[in-house]
Amino acid sequence: MNQAETHQGPHVASVKLLLVVWVALIFGTWLTVSVTYFDFGAFNIIIGLGIATAKAVLVALYYMHLRWDKPFNAFIFISAFAFLSLMIGLMLMDTSQNQPDMIPGFGAVVESGAAPEMP
């Protein structure tokens, strides 16, 4: 049975394509692991996340058929990551503002053991 005969509407991924993506994913995994043996300082995590995201894009496009799917499905899936980055981003902004000595004189009050004065 060849692919052209049964190709009606939904896309059928060829075995060759599936295997090529698999090789790329395995290579990506090898690359992620080997990159950790080099010290690029703060760039290590960026490189790692970059490779992981490239792998995720390959899986989504080919294994999850998003490349041939209705664009609306891709839109929905991408929106998940948009909201995720919103959640993490806002949370990071919040936690970076949270410092123990942000209120002047607060530390001294704690040391003396007295209750802080409420304005």
Partner 1 sequence: MAGSDHSHHNPDLAHHFENMDQQRQSSKLGMWLFLVTEILFFGGLFCAYVVYRVNHPEVFVFGHHFLDKTLGAVNTVVLICSSLTMAWAVRAAQLKQRTILMLMLVLSFVLAGTFLGVKYVEYSHKWHHGLLWASRYAPDAHILAEAGFEVPEAHVEEAVSERAEGAPAGETIPAIEALPVDETTPETPLDEVADPEISKIGPAAAGPAGLATAGDRASAEAERHAVSVDPANARTFFSVYFLMTGLHGIHVILGMIAMLWLMKLTFQGAFDGGHYTKVDNIALYWHVVDLIWIYLFLLMYLID
Identify which of residues 96 and 104 has a Cβ nearer to partner 1 in the complex.
96
> Which spans of this chain sit near partner 1 (rule: CB under 8 A)?
1, 3, 6, 9-10, 12-13, 15, 18-19, 21-22, 25-26, 29, 32-33, 36, 42, 44, 48-49, 51-52, 55-56, 59-60, 62-65, 69-70, 72-73, 76-77, 79-81, 83-84, 87-88, 91-92, 95-96, 98, 100, 106, 109-116
Alpha carbon distance 113, 111 (integer Å):
5
Q: Which two tokens stand for residue 26?
A: 């395995």
